[in-house]
Amino acid sequence: MADAKITTSDGISVEVHGTPEEVATVVERLRSGPKHESKAKPRRSKHGEDHGSGGIPDLVETLKEESFFKSPKGLGEIRKKLADMGHHYPLTTLSGAMQTQAKKRNLRRFKQDGKYVYVSAG
């Protein structure tokens, strides 16, 4: 077994215990410095939409093409359908995005039994 005590240029001390090959590997990795791999997540708009992918508007369009909005649907039903498709959104995010869809006249929005529902506009 080999032992090494290493102090980096920024003051971090490391003690390594292992076979000579293991210690040499650790020393070489410390010498070459950290490898910076960018794993940045795509930015999201305030409505949970991926920039460049469309997000909720594209999903709503898909649901419209499937005649999902043929009959009025509440936010809970919409959320469940999107979750079944693998897209999970909190109701607060979905609410704002669906209001935007109604403002753009992609869907109609009205109250039914005290709750807002959405239906195809045409």
- Which residue ranges make up each domain of the chain? 2-32, 56-120
The pLDDT score that the predictor gives to residue 24 is 80
What confidence tier does 32 reach under pLDDT thresholds 50, 70, 90? confident
Q: What is the CATH number of domain 56-120?
A: 1.10.10
How far is the C-alpha of 64 from the C-alpha of 90, rounded, in Å?
21
Q: What is the pLDDT of residues 56-91, one digit of tens each?
A: 999 999 999 999 999 999 999 999 999 999 999 999
pLDDT at residue 44 above 70? no
pLDDT at residue 49 above 50? no
pTM of the complete model: 0.56
